Structure 1
Amino acid sequence: MTEALGRSGILLIDKPAGITSHDVVARTRKRAGTRKVGHAGTLDPMATGLLMLGINNSTRLLTYLVGLDKEYFATIRLGAATNTDDAEGEQTEVAEPGTVANLTEETISAALRPLTGAISQVPSSVSAIRVDGKRAYTLVREGETVELAPRSVTVSALEVLDSRRHDGYYDLDVRVRCSSGTYIRAIARDLGAALGVGGHLTALRRSMIGPFAVTDAAELESLDVAASLLSPATIATALFPVLALDSDQAVDLGHGKRLVVDRPEGPQGPVAAIAPDGRLVGLLEFANGVGKPIVNFPPDILTATVVTP
């Protein structure tokens, strides 16, 4: 039995390797003493780095975090392809050592250019995309062949930081800045295919989601939920323009009323509406000076409650 955490907020977690994102959610539910925990995008078990979790009413903010740009650091191994496009899968193709030995920085740079910018990318077949109601990775594990439709993504940065040759392979350490929905495994796969040697990921770490960095994240094993929780207002003001409310406006918006506000022309929405006490009351969208609630955030009820996880 655990005393429930009544506060809402967002947690930045540095996910370790070897567990799923759902494992992180489950452990956080237990430590927070609440079932109301959600995530803003998963990481594969092999991957490490930034996960953003919503607690209690702040799960309503997750919709606005999922679509943020991401930054990753990864290692791409050229010289072999796998059925999962990463090191956890079975090798399906191994290049002749001489072919890999002939790779140069120039040929690799030329092959990376078409993978940068606004591109059409076929997701990895072991992605979490649903096909006929099932996750693609589930179908692959059941022995089915999965062909996913290409999707438009943007890779704004694809930078080689270091490289090394060993055991017939060519490893590249890269930094990737990309739009939500981009598969780094697919970049490794497509680079290897373009070079004719096969490619897959051997390491992946997510370093940023939007303006939020893994350097500010808590370690899962030593997580103190209450101490690590970022308020909804902290998150919203980092993402959206801010409208400072007076006390009457805060009450009206909390009741779902529209606000008539004399404000300079600016973004139509979302706009973070902040009460005099610093609490996030809601997100608004504006039209002709009238702010309409998109989503409201009720005040936390901080009475002590005991729950059984």
Structure 2
Amino acid sequence: MRQTAVITGSTRGLGRGLAEELARRGYQVVVSAQGEEDSVRAAAEVSPDALGVPCDVSDADQVQRLWDRAVARFGAVDLWVNNAGLALTGQPLATLPPEDFRTMLSINLIGAMQGCQVALRGMTAQATGGRAGRIYTVLGAGADGQPVPGMTGYATTKRALQFLTHSLAQETAGGPVRIGAISPGLVMTEGFLREHRRMVAGPERAARERWVNVIGDHVSTIAHWACDIFASRHEQGAEFVWLSAEKIAARQRDEPGRDILSRYLRDEDGSPATGTQEGATA
């Protein structure tokens, strides 16, 4: 029996990479983003039998509709990934426009909470027929509680998602639904590149690029790692961190010439190279 995966925010970026990797592993995939045209187009590109469903995760009714359409097409949902996220960064909280903070809260936090709620109810119900499921949430900068300059708004939502994961795992302990979270580090997506383009050329940007070449990773690398986790057995509420301090130190020691950015930047203004896969960073 083929399994079915729903990934929110999956027309671009890491979500798109997860959808493609899961399809390669034999999953029936539901691709979703706010726009219907984008969702349908991306689904067709991911797999001939993938389903594209538009969904604004900040709208509870749309999240429920996403679940309902996935079940109507494939019979059940085995894996739900709360990936949809938006990073509006580069400013301290004092100058962050209130609408930016509200938008990040609505998508990053409320969207994930609604995804967990809908998926948990549906998976608990389908477990009576012997088919339960797994729910994973994608974390990001700030989830570990460490302040991130210029990212207080975004990082606050990701810290809250870590708490959500741990609390939901406690609530569902002993039940049929597995809860987990992944922290993918810095992934080369359009979301990151968009923020990077805001920086003017100079010493600060050069220093940032040197650091990105140490800690950055391609979408395909992280997607493969994450999908291995989705298929694993682990403790309820487990959080998996890709970019550990040990990994960073090893790269600095063993890969002094590591270069990630040149694949994505075509010139000194930071524009993405032709054909670069774009998407929202989580």
Superposition TM-score tier, normalisation by shorter sequence: under 0.3
Whose strand fraction is larger, Structure 1's or Structure 2's? 1
Alignment TM-score, normalising by the size of structure 2 = 0.22
Whose helix fraction is larger, Structure 1's or Structure 2's? 2
Alignment TM-score, normalising by the size of structure 1 = 0.20
Structure showing greater Rg:
1
